[in-house]
Structure 1
Amino acid sequence: MTEPSEKDLEFLTRLKDILTSNLSNEDFGVSELADAVNMSRSNLLRRVKKAAGVSVSQFIRDFRLSKAFIMLQESDVTVSEVSYAVGFGSTSYFTKCFRELYGFPPGEAAQYAKNHEEIVRRRSSIKKYTFAGLLVLAVAALIYAGITYFQGTPESGLTYGKSIAVLPFVNNSNDVGNTYFVNGLMESVLNDLQKIEELKVVSRTSVEQYRNNPKSMTAIGDELRVTYLVEGSGQKVGDQIVLNVQLIHAAMDIPIWSEEFRRDASDVFELQKEISKIITQFIEVMVTPEEEERINKRYTNNLIAYDYFLQGFEALNNSKTQVDLEVSVEIFAKAIKEDSAYSRAYAAIAMAYYYMDVFQANKTHLDDLNYFADQALLYDDELAQGLIAKSLYYRTKGDCERAIPYLEKALVYNPNSGLALNFMSDIYALCLPDTEKYLIHALKGLEINTIASDSATTSINYMHVSNALVQNGFVEEAEHFIKISKKFDPSNIFADYLEAYILYARDQDLQATRERLEKTLARDTTRLDVLQEVAKVCYYQRDWKSSYAYFRSFVDARDRLNLAIFKNIDGEIAYVFDKVGKTKESKKFMVSYREFIDVNPNFSKDLDMAMYQSYIGETEKAMQLFETYSKDPRVNYWSLLFLDSEPLLDNIRETEDFKALFQSMTSSFWERHEALEKTLGIIELY
């Protein structure tokens, strides 16, 4: 980071004066500071990031802690008193933050140094050392400040709290056939760590790209946004296992623990648990008794069944075709033959059957998915993989309400399950729309799946976060993430037209939005999703002739391909067709729209029916339905942007009652937006 300018220093001094005046107020956070300096949160973020190189929340936290450091020099104050005096409502959280910043607990502050700035300067000036000099560095650091690990370097300057990634283990054997076994050891350690709620654990798909990758640990840590990395290598020779594992502080590129294990193959289960326990102890993560019990659980005691399971898991992870999936099922079946109560094997077969059907119109393996999910839960009703499989059975059937409780339980037993988080965000985005829950799960999913196994999937992950952000009114943040999405995959047309709408949310220029969408459509004229989006923008412009031309192309293609898609826009099609004199066809589409409303399970049913009733002249019924919709907490930002110009609502849109309801709906939305912003610290995602 470059040195701050004189103007930047003056700005930071102003912020510190404001924070000093509100030091004991634990509710004085980013939003309050932004209000105090008459800036938006996003502008404050950028200004502080430029001047101080940290987020606003970190700037506030570190300032409070620096004041605490000074107070702790006084012998007559307790840690608890200081924590409340500097705005921490929880002494335990204050202690955690203090230790993370300084490397020692607040109760020991007076022992190590009197000068706060000197400690911070020395801690931030430690540079990377060669492995040969590591011991000297560690001893010197321990003597100086009683610290076990470090919080940053000038190269990256970043740590990411209690977060970790388990990198692919290396097979040291000349026998490539042992790779599945070494990968299984890595998977077991990963699976154990994922069960700890206090620890953020990056998914296997995100780390797979670093197999045989020459990047530095610091670079990998920054890309995955984790503080710690686990590296491993090993081999199995006959009945002997040799495994080398090290825990690395990524920002410093320094191992803080490494060990070689030589064990009998029969001790493999104990070895896996031992490694997980050592790691959690070194990074001082809190493991609850319930989490420890789940970590210590054995899914099988049968080594032959376990070996088959690892082979099947390797086949499942590397599958690219239906045949590959069928092979994995056959191997898992061998594991179950050896141990008929092997819950993990049952769950794995269920997932294989799900993937066999996922892109098929005819779901031929639905019963298999259900049976094996039930078998997994029969032998272990807390198995996250079994719960996810059962949820997918209901999701595939279209019964999302019954799918959700299984995913919620899966996240209780495995808080870092990327699969569960992704499926939850999918449900709240498409099946049971709920913008707030969509955003919460999409954000958490992105933390776990920072980088997917390929750029296209990574692009989609960022696109989902962008979509969830804009639906909750976070336009600048949505624009930021959609740019990342397009950077990973410039060919992502979904991202292309989502960006067009995000820019509309920013500028509210329908003509510019139309031109962007037409440009996107020109990239692939077969994309019916984009075609109907262009038609809708023309509809909102009340350019009936152009809207009809696009809708006509869409309807003809939909009929030709015999697709029952986008039935929710048949009301708009009916309206446009009526405007251009296609009365007979218009009536047919309005009937279709009414049929769609009748089977629509979503909360938007009230809005759809309000638009239908408004169109046919039943204005009193339309107003009642719109009132019900306007009070629903799941209303998203698109409603605010488009409903006050919605042609289907023309018969009620200019009434005073409608305007009052629309204004109330708008106020409620922004109140929820502000509450969500405080809860999640959305801006800090930059």
Structure 2
Amino acid sequence: MPSLFAEIRRRKVFQTFVPYLGFVWLILQIVSVVTPMVNLSPLFNTLVAVTLFAGMPVMLYLSWYFDFTMDGLVAIADNETGKVSPFGLSRWTILLLITLGSGFVAYRYFSNVQIEFAKASDGIKQTFIADSIAVLPFKDASADQDQAFLAQGLAEEITSLLGRTDGLKVAASSSTSALAEKGLDPVTIARRLQVDTALTGSVRVIGDQLKIRVELVDAADAKVLWSETFARKFSDIFIVESEIARSTVNMLQDTYIETGSLTNSASTKSTDAYVIYLKGREQYRKQTPESMKAARKLFEQAIGLDPEYAQAYVALADTIAMLAKGTNGIGHDAFFGVLDGDIARQLSEQNIEKALLRNPELSEAYAIRGLTLAYLSKQSDEALSFLDKAIKLSPSSAKSYMWKFAVLDKLGRYSEAWQALEKAYLLDPISIANQSNRGFYLSQQGLIQEAENQYNLLISEFPNSPLGYAGMASIEYNRANYSESILYWKQAHSISPDNDRYEKSYIGLLLELGLVNEARKLTSDSFYIPTFLLIEKKHSELIDEMNTRILANPDDPWVRFETAFYQMLIGNNSAAEKLLVPLLTEFSDGELYNMPLCSPAIEIAWALVEQDNNKESQPILRECERQLDNARQENIKDAFADYLGARLAALNNNEKLASQELSNAFENGWRQWWTKYDPIIAPLLETDTGKDIMIKIDDHLQKEREEVKQLNIF
């Protein structure tokens, strides 16, 4: 240290630096006097000060190598050699790094000062930092209580505006609305949604006058952080919505959004069009075929009043897409099934194009485009790009994440699908679809208790929704608790009697237990006739029935496959082979390798193996093995996957592995009655392990059969 201080004195570092400090003081004094005289911004003082202080590290570094004289910079000789070393590349590099570092620190400091100054100028006093918020439905403060559509719509629009802010988690309107309908207070709702703050308010319109009052509440202690009343003309509603969103972000985030920079994409020059649009949104939220038709008409009327209304085109496209026939894959069994799928797709895409032509930054437009591509055009990869664009524009779009999950799941990218689902659930945890899908994914990963908790929560919050009961039915089925599963399926079916999946699951489970007479009491659908005949061992009648169906549907490969499968189960292997082998070229890959049983591919591979055609059978078996490995790598735990493993091992003549896989399938709930008739694992069933497992399956099915009979539910 003495040597260092001696060197500092020799190089006159302090003698150089102290005058610089004096120079800084003098400049600041001059600036402080001149600034108000010429009416400069107070920030000018700060800018000069920050710039001068940022130069201090640079001055200190240069003073080590140079004397600052009236004649300029004079290089200082080294103490040991007495010679002047050149100011080489390494010294220039260090000087550059010091300059950049001090400049960066100065920039960050000045930026923060700018933000605080702007907030102070706006009258915003930031007392709370938060990264999450829920916007509750506003209260209808009108005398006649006839402005609920406006109150709810206002909250949705502000939610959408806030959702475009990076770093701010915004709970979905559907979740906040569902909890608000239960009469919960804002703090309870915020805590249930796991957000830090809640924005509440009321709205009233009298004539052309609009009055909105808002409050921002801390979820931790119910303290009001900010409140404001806006009294404007109704035509200024978009300005007010943007101002509320802007003030909220500035209050909570360590940033500043200037006036006019957070514009409302739902704006229109026609307030009448906006009112009709909000009424359309009110109908859309009811989610029934009738309400969706009404919503479509209202959105079309809004466009008629303002043909440039981009958001109305998006809403119309969304509504038309949801009116399509077909599976949507996001926790519901179908769209509303009113419009032909191709027609719905074309109309939806036309309206999306009109919307993006008028406003290319509409997140919802890209989300709806992704939906139509995925489920009405079957273009999953392209759909993902549109959904990613929607998420980029609106990071809190729960709907975009939900649809992205569905697309990724469809593509077999299960880990990514789970991440998207968790994000959707985080933003919209009350959503019936999100809760149902999350329960399903938890059960697939073997987290049965967590899945059960999720389904029970869904049942408690939405007792009139069949999805919670259907989820619990699946869990009990996987546990091989068939009597419990039947009760849940019966409950789901009673809530939604027109739902084919619930009816087929309910009746199908009865048939798995061999309760044909009980199943006959519930349905007269010809769909079940082959299964009835199979279980009753009326094999001749079964084959006659299936041959009739083949004649009636000569171009349907699935009918021939079903016939072949029945032939396999009744021991007519040669007849099954003749039907199966030609099917190899009639199914697409997507149809051929249906998981979790990789069917009908594995049955076709069996037929080829039986004919000693290894050239064609081996590629099929390898692809099924790849599909199984992929499912297991994604942590999918399923008795059907284990049974597929047993079938694959049996076809590859690996008896030890086949026995282990079959044992795993049984432990994980495999109790299919037709296992004993499956020719693919027939050699395995001749082993001690196979015989023991079949005895256990028969005993379990008999026990469950008796328990179901005692339920007295028929």
TM-score range, shorter chain: 0.5 to 0.7
Q: Displacement of 1:446 after TM fit?
A: 1.9
Q: Which residue of 1 aligns with 2:205?
A: 236
Alpha-carbon distance, 1:497 to partner: 5.8
Q: Please list, as runs of the form range in 1=range in 2, the aligned pairs for 1:480-629 lying within 5 A after superposition.
A: 480-488=453-461, 495-496=468-469, 498-499=471-472, 502=475, 512-517=480-485, 527-532=503-508, 548-549=534-535, 574-575=564-565, 577-581=567-571, 586=576, 590=580, 594=584, 597-600=587-590, 607-608=598-599, 609-610=601-602, 612-617=604-609, 618=614, 620-629=618-627
> Which one of the candidate residues 263, 266, 287 is aligned to 1:296?
263
Q: 1:333 aligns with which of 277, 300, 304?
A: 300
| TM-score of the superposed pair, with normalisation by structure 2 | 0.57
User: Structure 1's 273 and 498: CA in aligned 2 closer, same or farther, altered over 3 A?
Assistant: closer
| 2:251 counterpart residue number | 282
Instruction: Look up the equivalent residue of 1:549 and give its one-letter code.
Output: I
Q: Is the 8 A contact 1:501 1:513 kept in 2?
A: no
Distance 1:585 1:377, change over 3 A: farther
Q: Distance in 2 between matches of 1:383 and 1:472?
A: 36
- What's the CA shift for 1:232? 0.7
Stretch moving more, 170-179 or 583-592: 583-592
Residue 450 of structure 2 aligns with which residue? 477
SS at match of 2:361: coil
Q: Which amino acid aligns with 1:278?
A: S
CA, structure 1 residues 391+264, in 2 after alignment: closer, same or farther (shift >3 Å)?
A: same
- Amino acid in the other structure paired with 2:569: K
Q: Work out whether 1:432 is the aligned partner of 2:411.
A: yes
Q: CA deviation at 1:201?
A: 1.5
Match of 1:204 in 2: 173
Distance 1:252 1:637 in 2: 41
Kept in 2: contact 1:180–1:310 (CA 8 A)? no
Q: What residue is the counterpart of 2:74 in the other structure?
A: none
Identity of aligned residues (%): 18
8 Å CA contact 1:249, 1:256 repeated in 2: yes
How many angstroms does 1:166 deviate by? 1.0
Between the aligned partners of 2:265 and 2:643, the Cα distance in structure 1 is 60
Asked if the contact 2:565–2:576 (Cα under 8 Å) also holds between the matched residues in 1, the reply is yes
Q: CA deviation at 1:179?
A: 3.8
Q: How far does residue 324 in structure 1 lie from its aligned partner after superposition?
A: 4.2
Q: Which residue of 1 aligns with 2:426?
A: 447
Alignment of 1:392-431 (within 5 A): 392-394=371-373, 395-429=375-409, 431=410
Over residues 428-483 of structure 1, what are the superposed CA-to-partner deviations in whole Å (9 max), with x where a residue is unaligned?
34x3233223322222222222224xxxxx3x432210112233444442233233
1:377 aligns with 2:331: no
Q: TM-score, with normalisation over the residues of structure 1?
A: 0.60
Deviates more, 1:214-223 or 1:641-650: 641-650
The equivalent residue for 1:360 is 337
The answer as to whether partners of 2:235 and 2:271 remain within 8 angstroms in 1 is no
Distance, in Å, in 1 between the alignment partners of 2:146 and 2:634 is 52
Q: Counterpart amino acid of 2:423?
A: K
Q: Report how far residue 275 of structure 1 moved.
A: 0.9
Instruction: Give the equivalent residue in structure 2 for 1:270.
Output: 239
Shift of 1:490: 5.9
Other structure's SS at 1:230 match: strand
Contact kept? 1:305, 1:334, Cα under 8 Å: no
The one-character-per-residue Cα deviations of 1:347-397 (angstroms, maximum 9, x if unpaired) are 111122123323227334332212111111222222112112222322223
In structure 2, the CA distance between the partners of 1:326 and 1:212, relative to structure 1 (3 Å rule), is closer
Equivalent residues of 2:132, 2:197 under 8 A apart: yes
Q: Is the 8 A contact 1:615 1:648 kept in 2?
A: no
- C-alpha contact 1:426 1:438 (8 A) present in aligned 2: yes
Instruction: Verify: 1:226 aligned to 2:195, yes or no.
Output: yes
Distance in 1, Cα, partners of 2:593 & 2:621: 16
Aligned equivalent of 2:309, options 336, 339, 342: 342
**SS of match in other structure, 1:436:** helix
Distance 1:267 1:341 in 2: 18
Counterpart-to-counterpart distance in 1, 2:251 and 2:542: 60
Query: What is the Cα deviation at residue 280 of structure 1?
Result: 1.4
Residues 383-432 of structure 1: per-residue CA shift (max 9 Å, x gap): 11211222232222333333222122111111222222222223334x32
Aligned-residue offset at 1:604? 5.2
Preserved contact between residue 299 and residue 316 of structure 2 (Cα < 8 Å): yes
Question: Is the Cα contact below 8 Å between 1:309 and 1:345 reproduced in 2?
Answer: no
Pairwise CA distance, 1:168: 1.1
Paired AA for residue 418 in structure 2: L
Aligned mate of 2:228, from 233, 249, 259: 259
Matches of 1:657 and 1:607, distance apart in 2: 21
Distance change >3 Å, CA 325–CA 633, structure 1 → 2: closer
Q: Distance in 2 between matches of 1:422 and 1:563?
A: 37
Which secondary structure does the structure 1 equivalent of 2:253 belong to? coil
Which residue of the partner structure matches residue 64 of structure 1?
Answer: none
Q: Is the 8 A contact 2:367 2:387 kept in 1?
A: yes
Q: Give the direction of change, closer, same or farther, for the CA distance of 1:496–1:244 in structure 2 (3 Å limit).
A: closer
Q: 1:475 to 1:269 in 2, by over 3 A?
A: same
> Separation in 1 of the partners of 2:483 and 2:586?
30
- Contact 1:644–1:653, Cα closer than 8 Å, also in 2: no
Secondary structure of the residue aligned to 2:204 is strand
Partner of 2:323: helix, strand, or coil?
Answer: helix
Deviation at residue 603 of structure 1 after TM alignment: 7.1
Q: Is the 8 A contact 2:132 2:195 kept in 1?
A: yes
Q: 5+ unaligned residues in a row in structure 1: which ranges?
A: 1-145, 151-160, 453-457, 539-544, 667-686
Q: Partner amino acid for 2:188?
A: A
Structure 2 equivalent of residue 649 of structure 1: 648
Q: Please state how far the C-alpha of 1:532 moved relative to its aligned partner.
A: 4.8
Report the equivalent of 1:12.
none
User: Which amino acid counterpart does residue 333 of structure 1 have in structure 2?
Assistant: E
Q: Determine the C-alpha separation between the residues in 1 that align with 2:416 and 2:249.
A: 30
Separation in 2, partners of 1:482, 1:321 = 23
In structure 2, the residue matched to 1:20 is: none
Give the aligned partner of residue 307 of structure 1: 274
Give the 3 Å change call, closer, same or farther, for CA 487–209 of structure 1 in structure 2: closer
Cα separation, 1, equivalents of 2:537 and 2:269: 62
Q: Name the SS for the 2:376 alignment partner.
A: helix
Matched residue, 1:74: none
Query: Who is 2:88 aligned against?
Result: none
Task: Tell whether the 8 Å contact from 1:536 to 1:547 is kept in structure 2 after alignment.
Answer: no
1:257-297 deviations in Å (ceiling 9; x for gaps): 111122233432222121112211222266899xx997335
Aligned 8 A contact 2:133 2:199 in 1 = yes
**Greater CA deviation, 643-652 or 408-417?**
643-652
Which residue pairs with 1:132 in the alignment?
Answer: none
CA-based RMSD of the aligned residues comes to: 4.8
Task: Name the aligned partner's letter for residue 354 of structure 1.
Answer: A
Provide the C-alpha distance between the structure 2 equivalents of 1:494 and 1:312, rounded to a whole number of angstroms.
28
Q: Is the deviation greater in 250-259 or in 218-227?
A: 218-227
Query: What is the Cα deviation at residue 559 of structure 1?
Result: 7.2
Distance apart, 1:346 and its partner CA: 0.9
Within the candidate set 237, 240, 248, 2:217 is matched to 248
Amino acid of the structure 2 residue aligned with 1:461: N
Gaps of 5+ in 2: 1-124, 325-334, 515-530, 666-714
Assess if the C-alpha contact under 8 Å between 2:443 and 2:475 holds in 1: yes
- Contact 1:534 1:550 survives alignment (8 Å): no
Question: Offset of 1:591 from its aligned partner?
Answer: 6.4
Structure 1, 550-559 or 386-395: larger mean CA deviation: 550-559
Query: Deviations 1:533-567 (Å, cap 9, x if unpaired)?
Result: 677899xxxxxx9995299999989979x999x99
